[in-house]
Amino acid sequence: MSKTIEIHGENNIPEEGALVIPGRLDFNQMLLLEQIFAGRSITWLCEENIVLDDSVRSYLEQDGITAVAFSAEDEAPEIIGKTLENNLQDGQLIVYLSGLASVREGECRHLLAKNLKQLCAFGLPVLPLAVAKPTELAYSPENLNRLPGNIFSFAPLIPARAVTVAAWQEAIHAADEVWFSARAFLNDSLPVAILNGIKKHGSSTTLYDGTDDSATSFDKLLGAAIALAGVIKKQTKKRRVGILLPPGKGGMIANLAVVFAGKIPVNINFTSSQSAIHSSIRQSGVDKFITADPFVRKAPSFPWPPNRDLIFIERVLPTIKKKIIRWIVLSKILPTPVIIKILGLSDLQGDDEAILLFTSGSSGEPKGVPLTHRNVLANVCQFGCKIQLRHQAKILGCLPLFHSFGSTVTLWYPCIEGINLITYPNPLETKRLAELIGMHSANLLLSTPTFLRGYMRRVKPNQLQSLDYVITGAEKLPQSLAESFQEKFGILPMEGYGLTETSPATNVNLPDPPSEGGAPIINTNRSGSVGKFLPGIAVKMTDPATGKPCPIDTQGTIWLRGANVFPGYLDNQKKTDDVITDGWFNTGDIGRVDEDGFLFIEGRLSRFSKIGGEMVPHETIEAAIIKLLGLDHETERRIAVVGIPDVQKGEAIALLTTVCGETFQQECIDLRYKLMDTGLPSLWCPKMFIPADQIPILASGKLDIKGCQELAEQNI
């Protein structure tokens, strides 16, 4: 067997005959597959209208090669299937050739939906095969010379009676996840990856800080971070270190320093309620916080710890200037393993905790989401190989570092993959952000629909002309907003999807590739969807009512598996068990996958609203209202919080209530102010109050969420 090949799931190859449907197959891969199937007769199957490579066509025309063509327009696929059964006798195999296609690099599927439908209707047992070229999905610190040229990952055989487009797609994603999760670099640590990435690209990669218009190369940031790491080690013996800084030089240096100190960075959400902040600090067990004087002055309402617990980065760095210069030099000349040994980080493994983020829990208390080195490295690679930015490209980083996308995509990804970064601390200041985009010719803008509306109001069209991608997340992207943005700026915003627990990116829409040589285009964006899955992510669906498996093309609860999926919530086994089963993560979202592999999000199981990109827990708001109104001892439910559509924020909070006095409207206004006085963010306070005769309750005594939603919608 050639050394250029790696095989997974070889035991899934059946002894009996089967129709093999690979996600892709070029000429060289055909020859390699023949080696894998050595000793078995192969019939090559094509759709009559596909475009074949000249080398493939010449090969199929040779004597002794069996090739068959079919028409995707044929109305009787079962008849074709009956004919093809003769080619499956005595363990023979039929292998489908999808032909040439216009695709984005790294695309795992090169066949059209209409052809796949026809194949699945033949009534034959199907062996799904994921085929990958690791060089297309390369991770910057990897040694490309050591990567196999091709990877074949076989899924279990699908019996003829169970073959559908959805079943094949689910199997292909599962097989794709198997090989991706076996990649060697996932056993490395975050500091190793950062060192390798910056040593490779650091002198030619720059952080442009929009607060002072400074430009600092990544190798200098690395030197400062390693020097600061020594200070952090002396300041605290705790495993984790808090960080209270926005995106910028300070935020990057602080996070890198904590990592190189062998500790875990905890970027605190300084926009949360005070109770949530205190909870995050308590759960994470941090006793030291890295911050800066200017930031402290800008956030006077934050419950700042005593000064003795604060490490002011702009005060410390000047005192260690000589060490910084020394480490800038040493980091260039010493090999990564030597630096890792000097810093005492040799024992770090892929499954160790690398960073800690927080997300809201159903009770309102933030849930700690520890992400391992493996999780972060996997998602950096998954996102990076899909977006395919050049090393000289520039990302605008304005999402907060406590946000999962701000952490992975605008912090770790640029360091590891060698991408220039433009930072600014406030995503709401779209006028200044547009100036930075134009000044530095940014290529990628990550945003939310709420923030995009700010660009629509305040920014001139020519200021965004350098952008190649505008990717939104956190809330639904309205089609009308996307079209208006494209009309004004000449670029179509595209929606992605991810969760803190998945490190975070799992799906993204991207511009379609250009057509080449008359080959069909494999689309990479679809309106209304959140895009195709990133490499190495498996998906399945379960019925929301019964919990039983259902086809992924029907509406169901979305479960994901992959190297990017977190191991479980911080010190909370019960909540972990609620969402993770046999390595599968229950997203709590409801959706479906269409015939081309695009994921559509169609609802949410958990009682949260996503407002302006923030997860807002309904039960926390209810608890605060119950306390304010003195309803703690009521036997009947008097209130219920629901999410309602909102043009500006995607969703808004509405309150169903049976507490309706003669001065109802004034009481509602007073309630909003009282809630804010308790520390509840204004975003969380009900925007609409709906009087109700009774709150819908299920026979079990539980809140009828669907009934509440319907009642609210009737009164909007």
- Spatial contact of 112 and 156, defined as CB atoms under 8 Å apart: no
Span 94-151, pLDDT tens digits: 999 999 999 998 888 999 999 999 999 999 999 999 999 988 887 888 887 788 889 9
Span 232-283, pLDDT tens digits: 999 999 999 999 999 999 999 999 999 999 999 999 988 877 888 999 999 9
Span 640-660, pLDDT tens digits: 899 888 877 788 899 998 887
Based on the fold, state whether residues 253 and 357 are members of the same structural domain: yes
Based on the fold, state whether residues 124 and 217 are members of the same structural domain: no
Residue 504 preceded by cis peptide, ω within 30: yes
Based on the fold, state whether residues 278 and 203 are members of the same structural domain: yes
In a domain, 597, yes or no: no
Q: Where are the alpha helices (DSSP H) in 359-441?
A: 373-387, 404-407, 413-417, 430-440
Report residue 699's pLDDT band, with 50, 70 and 90 as the boundaries: very low
Based on the fold, state whether residues 159 and 221 are members of the same structural domain: no
Average pLDDT for 160-166? 97
Based on the fold, state whether residues 151 and 124 are members of the same structural domain: yes
Which residue among 523, 553, 585 closes a domain? 585
Domain hosting residue 171, numbered range = 5-180
Span 441-452, pLDDT tens digits: 999 999 988 788
pLDDT over 80 at 2, yes or no: no
In a domain, 598, yes or no: no
Based on the fold, state whether residues 62 and 200 are members of the same structural domain: no
Report residue 74's pLDDT band, with 50, 70 and 90 as the boundaries: low
Domain count, the chain: 3
Based on the fold, state whether residues 581 and 624 are members of the same structural domain: no
pLDDT over 60 at 93, yes or no: yes
| Interatomic CA distance for residues 554 and 576, integer angstroms | 26
Based on the fold, state whether residues 550 and 440 are members of the same structural domain: yes
Span 510-541, pLDDT tens digits: 999 998 878 899 999 999 999 999 999 999 99
Based on the fold, state whether residues 372 and 285 are members of the same structural domain: yes
- Per-residue pLDDT, 131: 96
| Interatomic CA distance for residues 142 and 128, integer angstroms | 28
In a domain, 242, yes or no: yes
Lowest-pLDDT range of 160-169, 252-261, 338-347, 608-617: 608-617
Listing DSSP states for 121-177 in one string gives TT---EEEEEEE-TTTT--TTS-GGGS-SEEEEEPPPBPGGG--HHHHHHHHHHHHH
Parallel, antiparallel, or unpaired for β 549-550 and 537-542? antiparallel
Span 190-245, pLDDT tens digits: 999 999 999 999 999 999 999 999 999 999 999 999 999 999 999 999 999 999 99
CATH for 443: 3.40.50.12780
Based on the fold, state whether residues 174 and 202 are members of the same structural domain: no
pTM of this structure: 0.86
